[in-house]
Structure 1
């Protein structure tokens, strides 16, 4: 066991290093305070997120220090940047690398897109983007349609009351499992889903691997999930080599088929598994959260709901009972997608993120020292009255002409070379799901108190229980 002196040095030396560096660069650093050692402003931010006052907390810092300030978050000196110019600086600057909590890389794997930089990141991201581009996804609309119909028939139809968030998470997991891994419904998919529920619980946990901790349970669930995904990958590789499946069958077979000149596009088994873990995690949480908050908003906004219902009725009336939605149908759901975008603007699933400075860099005359992290929050520009007129008003018409929104102001999907590669995939599953829900049901919220917290994703009170009622002309 490490002695108290060694443990003290482990914590104290990094702090002394950054304090000495801060003093060395004090004249160039932005205003602000690093606060107490290790703790800094971490507890204050986490408390604000839990109370759903994080935007106000950050606004208070901006009022006090301006759009660029220093603080300390999660044990690391941090520069907080805000504004369109700052967003662009963060998203396109090669000197800023992703900075994920250590727990994420330990659980999801070291060769995932969130961790990699340079050529490795471009190679892996390019492979995933090729599979998720619209030309590829058109052929998977029917598969997603089938998963949504099965989910509603099995989880919604026999109940007068349902809890939306866990159901949406279950649905998005099933869709991604089917599309990415080719997993059909059954024990293998159920077991993988169970592992991912435990895995996700520890992504933001303190990375101390002691028995019975959330992090320990998450690591064990990750090991089970990785074993299952590795077996799937090896099985599909054998099928691909024997000609028993096509490269476009699912994401795994597609990634396995990549070779390129001199084999320079080929991905290792570790890279395929690690990025499958990331895509399943990211797609599972963000889309389910967005659909939950769309349903939450539409329950209290009859005018917007009527607009969505009218649009979906126009599509449904030209289809026979049991017909599958098509890519052409989805292209007509413009208003429904604007509702999704406005929901994203007001309640982005990802509150903010971090980058790490790979070298000393400057922004607007202020120094960002090497090794410090940069923090950005999407809501700052998305709720800025100088950018979006009456930002607290829900108005889908804002997105009628997306080109009218200044660059790097709406950043719910990120931006630059690391913009979310699954935008189009998310659009398909959200539009298909909302079509069948609004065509079959009316609903009202069960909780009088309509609040939510962030942990770190936004989560409505009690998971958003709603009372269902069949529409007269449901499909």
Structure 2
């Protein structure tokens, strides 16, 4: 009986302590937190969301949550308390509020590094963003059109011409990787580039994962691949720094991104970025410039296979441009300005299948939105599809209609509704670079080839980027030149 009494006393004591701690935790939290649940410790709703993304792209999961709790709800993602916000007003709050800073999941931070533009704010963010924009200035981009044109021509000749079938997504990813390797890192084709390409694919696989560095997990494989990729970029940075010291002012900053970043100085003549900052942001540029463009072009190919009218209008636009050029003459910046219909097709593709599912911010202080409290340190999460597929914003949202973007100043869509590239001070700095890649590639693709889909399913999964079934295999044949 004495033993039983001790056990009962311990249980009562433990229960009392637990109730006391829960009461204190509840008292410490604001009374007007959003509706919802944080779920299990650490795991929260992470696995549920990841399963949904790999099932139907995740949009239904988000919409079900909005239907249940409304446009503001609390949950836990990747080990952190989170508030999901939905709608144009929420997007505007996310992009412009000074109380929020970008916040990537811990898995992304560990893979890309602590000094990436994705997680900087204030003066550090402005400094790094300004440095990246120095490389992405319009006058610099104009010089890269011809080099991108050469990479696209070579890629299509080596990987598309003479084949009966190709798989689009991996080929588009390799094309954009080769373009970025050449223009951003000055890395020529060969074994180093091939190894970096393989590590890059493995690096992506664990970016949205529970950050448990255990053997045989996607996150563990991504960390190892990230380490190898980082060592390659560190070696490239050292080589280019040595070359700059050797050649002095004669070394041109126009050659590639790393050379450009190494050459930048502040008002006191000191380097604007450290080597570590350059490597971390080169990793970000590798991902940002690779996945978005390759996925966009893959889904354009998928749509055009079943939309004869849109394809015919694109072919006509590109044939008119080609008629005014000499045989084999590279595209120019002026040629790209004439590809207005093609870019509208790209924008409509981005609206229906945005490459980036959503993104995170972190509350720098206690902040309120729509009557609900968001405590300091919590994540805030937004997704593009909530507004992109809203029938009250885009009429018949499932219908593919490039004319939506014909005259955007007259569009009825409220600000911060089309957010494929984000918005506000952190809008993607590589928009124009992505536009060049897309327009140049589609120019040569629609003029040289016809294609049919091998898979009829009009579906895709996210892992975390969208991917069509089997990578989109297609049957192709050469077009007869007009």
- Correspondence for 2:289 among 283, 291, 297: 283
Q: Could you tell me whether the CA contact under 8 Å between 2:365 and 2:376 is conserved in 1?
A: yes
Counterpart of 1:59 in structure 2 is 63
CA distance change for structure 1 residues 19 and 289 in 2, over 3 Å: closer, same or farther? farther
**Hey, what does 2:231 align to over in structure 1?**
227
Residue 171 (structure 2) aligns with: 167
- Counterpart of 1:8 in structure 2 is none
Separation (CA, whole Å) in 1 of partners of 2:39 and 2:242:
56
Match of 1:429 in 2: 437
Offset of residue 139 of structure 1: 0.5
Match of 1:391 in 2: 397
Is the CA contact (8 Å cut-off) linking 2:30 and 2:375 kept in structure 1? no
Structure 1 residue 408 corresponds to structure 2 residue 401: no
Q: Contact 2:166 / 2:476 at 8 angstroms: preserved in 1?
A: yes
Match of 2:350 in 1: 344
CA deviations over 1:215-255 (Å, ceiling 9, x no partner): 33322222222222112112112222332531111111111
Contact between 2:30 and 2:373, CA under 8 Å: does it hold in 1? no
Shift of 1:99: 1.9
Q: 1:272 aligns with which of 269, 278, 284?
A: 278
**Aligned residue among 468, 475, 478 for 1:470:** 478
2: CA distance, partners of 1:276 / 1:285: 14
> Does residue 322 of the first structure (1) align with residue 333 of the second (2)?
no
The alignment's TM-score, normalised by the length of structure 2, stands at 0.91
Of 221-230 and 464-473, more deviation after overlay is shown by 221-230
Q: Classify the secondary structure of the residue corresponding to 1:242.
A: helix
C-alpha distance in 2 between matches for 1:25 and 1:225: 42
Q: Secondary structure at the match of 2:455?
A: coil
Q: Deviations over 1:16-48 (max 9, x none)?
A: 999855554453112222233333332332222
Q: How does 1:199-238 map to 2 (within 5 A)?
A: 199-238=203-242
Q: 8 Å contact 1:133–1:424 — kept in the other structure?
A: no
SS at match of 1:442: strand
> Mean alpha-carbon deviation: is it higher for 270-279 or for 43-52?
43-52
Give the paired residue count: 459
RMSD of the alignment, in Å?
1.9
> CA deviation digits over 1:381-414, x for unaligned, max 9?
1111111111111000000112224210101100
Q: How far is 1:79 from its partner? A: 1.0
Alignment partner, residue 111 of structure 1: 115
In structure 2, what is the equivalent of residue 418 of structure 1? 426
Give how far 1:434 is off: 0.5
> Deviation of residue 450 (structure 1)?
2.8
**Candidates 79, 94, 105, aligned match of 1:75:** 79
Deviation at residue 163 of structure 1 after TM alignment? 0.2
Separation in 1, partners of 2:404, 2:22: 44
Distance 2:141 2:302 in 1: 28
Cα deviation for residue 264 of structure 1 reads 5.6
Residues 309, 439 of structure 1: 8 Å contact kept: yes
Unaligned stretches of 5+ residues in structure 1 = 1-15
* 2:3 aligned residue: none
- Structure 1, 283-292 or 97-106: larger mean CA deviation: 97-106
Structure-2 residue corresponding to 1:249: 255
- Cα distance, 1:358 vs structure 2: 1.5
8 Å CA contact 2:263, 2:271 repeated in 1: no
* Aligned-partner Cα distance in 1 for 2:53–2:22: 27
CA-to-aligned-CA distance 1:319-374 (integer Å, 9 cap, x gap): 12211000000000000000000000010011111111111001122100112111
Contact 2:145 2:331 in 1 (8 A): yes
Aligned positions of 1:77-156 closer than 5 A: 77-156=81-160
Q: Give the 3 Å change call, closer, same or farther, for CA 100–305 of structure 1 in structure 2.
A: same
Work out which of the residue numbers 17, 35, 44 in structure 2 matches 1:40.
44
Change (3 A) 1:246 1:17: farther
Q: What is the TM-score of this pair, normalised by structure 1?
A: 0.92
Cα distance change, pair 276–441 in 1 and its aligned pair in 2 (3 A): same
CA-CA distance at 1:94 after TM superposition = 2.3
Name the larger-Rg structure. 2
What CA distance in whole angstroms lies between the structure 1 residues aligned with 2:22 and 2:191?
Answer: 51
Distance 1:19 1:271 in 2: 44
Question: Structure 1 residues 35, 442: closer, same or farther in 2, change over 3 A?
Answer: same
The separation in 2 between residues aligned to 1:86 and 1:275, in whole angstroms, is 28
Residues 1:312 and 2:324 aligned together: no
Q: Is the 8 A contact 2:57 2:460 kept in 1?
A: no
Q: C-alpha separation between the residues in 2 aligned to 1:372 and 1:18?
A: 19
